[in-house]
Chain A
Amino acid sequence: MDNTSQFTSLLTNATLSRVERMRMLPMRRRTNRSRGEHLAGKGGTSTEFNDYRDYVAGDDMRYVDWNIFSRLNRPYVKQYRHEEEMHVVVLVDASASMQFGDKFQRAKQLAACFAVMGLLNIEKVSVFACQHAGQTPLILSPCTGRISMKRVFKFLEDIPPGGDFPIEQAVESVLIQHRGRGIAVLLSDFLTFGAMERPMNMLFSAGLEVFAVQLLSGIELNPELTGDLRFVDSENGHTLDVSSVGDLLGFYHEHLNGLQDYLSTLCRQRSGRFICLDSSQAIDDILFDVLKRKGWVQ
């Protein structure tokens, strides 16, 4: 395929075309007061009928259902759903640990997809990329509409990899700048020494429903290691001498499963979602198969 004819290097046109017709399915309705596309309760002015109520003095006569009045000779007022705006925050972990395998590329692709879904559903979309600890994350300020797609893709394509920003600190620094309720999409490997309770609580308090996507490469999901090794942390350069690694793989898998259960529990307790993906899996499979089946998107 000719790259010059592609809208973005992150997704093929076919994938993008299918993504444009998809939308995210939040577990709860967390919307801004500002008017938007999401139905958020009675009393709105949308075309979505919700209920009837007795007419009271002062009500807008335009909402009286005259057919009912003619049959019952009593005025009833039709109520319509209120439509509000939802803010989609996409946080891309750009630390050095994401450079292994296809993790970073897959994270950027998923971020693009979620952003496209938000933009084409008239949501506000903002993207954060966290690299180095202590530095301000790279920010794509809230934008909306198809017109912003190019900006979003450009921003994502230009995120440089490498850094040592732990995901829990990254979440806190994002929330310092972010305002608005909606969905927080966290794209990270969640391999951190810190605890994730605090950032999860902060996200929940901020009215953001967490869509946590853990991306792991093959060497993390199924490491095939033996012998005596000296592991070097890609983010901070710390070393760890491990003997007979092959004998420890059982422990490793136990701890990996434990981490996934822990993150899943944290998200579920806060009305969020968690999924662990193999970064080597094709983006189309993830989008149109895994996420659909899990009910993340439709």
Chain B
Amino acid sequence: MNFPGFSALIHAWWFLLLIPLIIFYFLKLRRPRMEIPSLALWRQVVNDQRVNSPFQKFKRNLLLLFQILLLCCLVLAAMQPYLSSGTQQHQNLPVLIDTSASMGALDGPGGKSRLDEAKEKVSKLIDDLLPGQQLCLISVNGGARRLTDFTSNKRLLHESLSQLKVSQVASHLEDGFRLAQALSRAFPIDSVMLLSDGNVPHEVEFELPFKLNFQRLKAGGPNIGITDLNARRSRNGWDVFARVEGSKDAKTLAEYELLQNGQVIKSDSISIEGTKAERLVFKVAAEVAISIEVRIKPDGFDSLQSDNVAYLDLPKPRPLAVYCPTDMESFRKALAIIPDINLYPGDEGSPTAVDLKFAQGPLSSGPEARVNFNVGYVPDDIASLVEIESGLADIVDWQRTAPLLQHVQLLDVQIGDQPKLTKGVTERDFELAGYEILAQSRTGPLILERSGGGRTDFQFLFHPDRSSLVYRVGFPILVQNAAQVALTRAALSEAKALPAGSLPPRKVQPETEYRVSGPEGFTDSAKSDKDGFLMGLGAPYVGMYEVTGESEPQRIGVSLLSSQESSMSSVEKLNFPEVSVGAATQTVKTDQPLWGWFAFAGLLFLILEWWYFQKKPAGVPG
């Protein structure tokens, strides 16, 4: 049993008011006078009553008793009593609330969502806040967003909590923890509370600097959803692939529909049982850009609606446009054997923009491209980090899984250019400059990749013509990989549906304000950069978004496409690099404030006293 504690014991001094209360009561006591024929009977009655009622003195001062009780209740309420839960109390408590897509899952037909349940728990936490305690509400979905500062303002906290909505994106807890860690620099934080349905990755790449109270909510009900939608170029158009998965307890039939530009072109039904995935394959013939939409309609209860639709935009089929200067003979020869490409410069000149550009100098020359392949040149931004000298170098390590270097054997390749790092420069400096090292010699990096701003640059610090690479089998594979990367970037070979979270970078008018509007009244705006790339537009909900600006409005479909979220699985514990945190077995326990009860009792005594005081004895002259 826990005994009540007091948060503001200093207010006990108010009990001293009992002294003047009692004094003034007796000084001010006035009894109504009432003339009666004779005291003869009443005197006997009073004598008899004194004998029979030892508590007469107590009863005769009932008003005083009420006043004492009223004062005691008020003082006790002012002392902020609370019933201790026995758990350690934290003055500053960040509360991470998972608002990923799975938190929108219902627990049953007509039931409440996981987020509603989390809100109830947090609401109780807010109501039970004691003086000196502060909460900071943080919403965690694909990213993290601080809803409030550390505050004890219950109205503000409740208001922020009520505005919290589910974002139809997958969970990414690291951002929430990092935000809490950032807060800990300004406020002392011992513990962080996480409210989630457990539908999060097992592994969390974050070093926990504080205790974590993982309050796991009950998982949602049975669910099936579309977890993947992509398309691959075929001879006559596109092969569209969709994957439908269910949660562990899902066992239902579902109808699916394939819509092309809003028209149903195919519908059928599938059976989903458990986590076993069903793969749907459609063939779509298209000579122009089309919009594909896949919908499923489960027969039974489906706890999550947002994963029942997926959108895919397929571009107009066309050959890959590649620019390769004529003096890069070896590359042009390797490109010539790749089918379905237009190689520039050719007979009809060069376009202003291509999909893949090869260069051996600054990239500013020639047409613009999303994928650039630059050889024998050190970009200006890393010129201070590395310089190329004459001398032999060989590749000692390379990223075999990188798209560019897949199936390319670089062992024993002799290179006539030798990189030399500036003194004190490490790999970290290249990373800070935005480069990833794909291949490295003993003395420095040889192949770098930089992605960002909607384009990818491969920087070969050496020239392949001054190496044995061009004579290796791997060279045409390398060029083909580069073409494949360009095909992928241009969505010419395959296309993937866009997951919710943010819209991918788009090439638009440079330095122009664009506005995006989407489902649930979502709006956002951003300005394209000087290269004409529009980035950073949010898309937290599943549905169609419209980007408007100076050019024609563009419609973009965004889907959930998360196997994790659709599975409704729930992890028992979160694995951090050094520790594991299990889900709390007990619900959120807080100290129970009691001041409200005392205030209510005080009000009750006040009403009783008022009634007793106002009750006019019958027969007493007015």
B36 touches A189 (CB 8 A): no
Q: Is A191 an interface residue (CB 8 A)?
A: yes
**Chain B: CB-nearest residue to A97:** B37
Q: Is B579 an interface residue (CB 8 A)?
A: no
A242 touches B46 (CB 8 A): yes
A229 proximity list for chain B (CB < 8 A) = 31-34, 617, 620
- Select one of A96, A223, A234, A235 contacting B619, CB under 8 A: A223
- Select one of A238, A243, A246, A252 contacting B41, CB under 8 A: A252
A172 smallest CB distance to B (angstroms): 18
B618 proximity list for chain A (CB < 8 A) = 223-226
Q: Is B60 an interface residue (CB 8 A)?
A: yes
Q: Is B62 an interface residue (CB 8 A)?
A: yes
Q: How far is A227 from B618 in the complex, measured between Cα atoms in Å?
A: 9
Q: How far is A227 from B46 in the complex, measured between Cα atoms in Å?
A: 14
B59 proximity list for chain A (CB < 8 A) = 243-244, 247
Q: Is B615 an interface residue (CB 8 A)?
A: yes
A100 proximity list for chain B (CB < 8 A) = 36-37
A225 touches B619 (CB 8 A): yes
**Most chain B CB within a 10 A radius of its CB, from A98, A192, A252, A256:** A252
Q: Is A245 an interface residue (CB 8 A)?
A: yes
Q: Is B45 an interface residue (CB 8 A)?
A: yes
A219 touches B619 (CB 8 A): yes
A192 touches B33 (CB 8 A): no
B30 smallest CB distance to A (angstroms): 9
B36 proximity list for chain A (CB < 8 A) = 100, 219-220, 231-234
B40 touches A224 (CB 8 A): no
**Most chain A CB within a 10 A radius of its CB, from B31, B35, B39, B615:** B39
Q: How far is A124 from B33 in the complex, measured between Cα atoms in Å?
A: 46
Q: Is B43 an interface residue (CB 8 A)?
A: yes
Among B11-60, those with CB < 8 Å from A are: 31-46, 48-49, 52, 56, 59-60
A189 touches B35 (CB 8 A): no
- Count A-B pairs with CB separation below 8 Å: 113
Size band of the interface chain A makes with B: 35 or more
B617 touches A226 (CB 8 A): yes
B33 touches A240 (CB 8 A): no
A198 proximity list for chain B (CB < 8 A) = none
- Select one of B38, B60, B616 contacting A97, CB under 8 A: B38
Contact indicator per residue, chain B 582-622, by CB within 8 Å of chain A (1) or not (0):
00000000000000000000000000000010011111100
Q: Is A228 an interface residue (CB 8 A)?
A: yes
A247 smallest CB distance to B (angstroms): 7
Among A236-254, those with CB < 8 Å from B are: 238-248, 251-252
A234 touches B37 (CB 8 A): yes
B32 proximity list for chain A (CB < 8 A) = 227-230
Q: How far is A99 from B37 in the complex, measured between Cα atoms in Å?
A: 8
A240 touches B60 (CB 8 A): no
B413 smallest CB distance to A (angstroms): 110
A162 smallest CB distance to B (angstroms): 12
Q: How far is A255 from B34 in the complex, measured between Cα atoms in Å?
A: 20
B49 touches A248 (CB 8 A): yes
Q: How far is A238 from B618 in the complex, measured between Cα atoms in Å?
A: 21
B37 touches A251 (CB 8 A): no
Contact indicator per residue, chain A 251-279, by CB within 8 Å of chain B (1) or not (0):
11001100100000000000000000000
Q: Is A217 an interface residue (CB 8 A)?
A: yes
A191 with B33, Cβ < 8 A, contacts A226-B618, A228-B60, A248-B49 known: no
Q: How far is A232 from B35 in the complex, measured between Cα atoms in Å?
A: 4
A242 proximity list for chain B (CB < 8 A) = 42, 46
Contact indicator per residue, chain B 196-233, by CB within 8 Å of chain A (1) or not (0):
00000000000000000000000000000000000000
10 intermolecular pairs with C-beta atoms under 8 Å apart: A191-B41, A193-B43, A225-B617, A225-B619, A232-B34, A240-B42, A240-B43, A241-B31, A243-B60, A248-B49
Seen from chain A, the residues whose Cβ lies within 8 Å of a Cβ on chain B are 96-100, 103, 189, 191-193, 217, 219-220, 223-235, 238-248, 251-252, 255-256, 259
Besides A219-B37, A232-B34, A238-B39, 6 other A-B contacts (C-beta < 8 A): A192-B40, A220-B37, A225-B619, A226-B615, A227-B615, A228-B63
